[in-house]
Amino acid sequence: MKKTNAMRLLDAAGVKYEEFEYDTKGGISGVDVAKTLNEDVSMVYKTLVTESNKGEHFVFIVPVAMELDLKKAAKASQAKKVDMLKQKDLLPLTGYVHGGCSPIGMKTRLKTFIDISAMDKEYIFVSGGKVGLQIKVSPSDLVKLTDASAIDIVK
């Protein structure tokens, strides 16, 4: 398998991880990814990018079956308001496409938040930087690598 930017950064940091490829024919949701990996849905997290009313960008890592609470997200990021980033703006900002956006190795380093639910887990899955690739990694390693703040950010 060709290494993604996320995998190269994990390697460079000496972080232990496992990668898992899966078939995405016909589209696949985060909940479907968990089923495909034969994992509990609470172990699989999605990476969401937002934009504040002042044009600031933030990353939120939340369980795939949960919804980001935009009010909690705004409070965490100290913004008056945040909205989801338009899909067309994702690649130029992060270097990743929708469905393959990893919190690791974005083109632009953004302030990152991870839902507190991840912190009591031995490992979680996040995108490996391309559609059809997940990385199994320790939440504490992910926090260190992304300089994320752990906080309650879901509805």
Is 62:68 a contact under the CB 8 Å cutoff?
Answer: yes
Q: How does residue 26 score in pLDDT terms, banded at 50, 70 and 90?
A: low
Residues sharing a CB contact under 8 Å with residue 91, sequence separation 6 or more, in sequence order: 97
Q: Given its phi and psi angles, is residue 19 left (phi above 0), alpha (psi -120 to 50 degrees) or beta?
A: beta
Per-residue model confidence as pLDDT tens digits over 62-110? 999 999 999 999 999 999 999 999 999 999 999 999 999 999 999 999 9
Please name every residue paired with 126 in a beta bridge, in sequence order, or none if there are none. Answer: 135
Confidence (pLDDT) at 29: 87
